[in-house]
């Protein structure tokens, strides 16, 4: 059992008819930008209980690009008890179709992007300093690479934990 994809035009029509839009991205992603009528229920906490408010309404699931919803279509189909769809292309396609979104750039970048920026900056710094100051700075790049490898294998990201304590991430 899987969910059919619909384009932003079809989604907009269904929303006008009373469909519920569920944004499965993390709360940090949702806070920065989301579809005007979307309710945020992150994928990691999504359950039939969380969708109890849906009263025989159609449901439209979406994420940023459509990849997360497509990859989890089976799970999404299992948690919903009514007719449901996936917004093809996600929020990116919705914006491209010039549909309304709420943007709050006062919210911090989502944590994954902060980690990518931080890791990239540190790895590049280690490389440049290793070439110009001392080869020992290459260890910094190696340390960051090892940290990313560890995060990918275990699901624990030390840099994300540290960044969560930064003042711009306090809510």
- Which CATH number is correct for 5-103, 3.90.1150.10, 3.20.20.80, 3.40.50.150, 3.40.250.10? 3.40.250.10
Catalytic residue among 19, 46, 63, 115: 63
Tokens representing residue 28 in the block? 């940090």
43-98 pLDDT, tens digit each:
999 999 999 898 889 999 999 999 999 999 999 999 998 999 999 999 999 999 99
4-38 pLDDT, tens digit each:
999 999 999 999 999 999 999 999 899 999 999 99
63 catalytically annotated: yes
Domain ranges of the chain: 5-103, 111-169
Q: Where are the alpha helices (DSSP H) in the chain?
A: 8-16, 27-32, 67-71, 73-79, 90-96, 111-132, 138-154, 158-164
The answer for residues whose C-beta is within 8 angstroms of residue 52's C-beta and 6 or more apart is: none
- Cα(157)–Cα(169) distance, integer angstroms: 16
Question: Could you please report the per-residue DSSP string of 92-132?
Answer: HHHHHTT--EEE-TTSPPPHHHHHHHHHHHHHHHHHHHHHH
116-152 pLDDT, tens digit each:
999 999 999 999 999 999 999 999 999 999 999 999 9
Radius of gyration over alpha carbons of the chain, in Å?
Answer: 20
**Bridge-based pairing state of the strands 101-103 and 33-35:** antiparallel
Length of the chain: 171
């Amino acid at each position: 059992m899987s969910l059919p994809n619909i384009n932003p035009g079809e989604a907009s029509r269904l929303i006008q008819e009373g469909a519920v839009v569920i944004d499965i991205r993390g709360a940090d992603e949702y806070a920065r930008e989301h579809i005007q009528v979307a309710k945020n229920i992150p994928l990691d906490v999504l359950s039939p209980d969380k969708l109890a408010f849906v009263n025989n309404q159609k449901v439209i699931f979406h994420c940023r690009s459509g990849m997360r919803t497509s990859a989890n279509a089976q799970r999404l189909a299992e948690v919903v008890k009514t007719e449901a769809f996936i917004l093809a292309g996600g929020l990116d396609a919705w914006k491209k179709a010039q549909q309304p979104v709420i943007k709050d750039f006062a919210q911090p970048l989502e944590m994954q992007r902060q980690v990518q920026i931080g890791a990239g900056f540190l790895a590049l710094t280690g490389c440049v300093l290793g070439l110009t100051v001392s080869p020992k700075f290459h260890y910094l790049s190696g340390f960051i690479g090892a940290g990313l490898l560890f995060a990918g294998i275990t699901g624990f990201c030390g840099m994300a934990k540290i960044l969560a304590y930064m003042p711009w991430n306090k809510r």
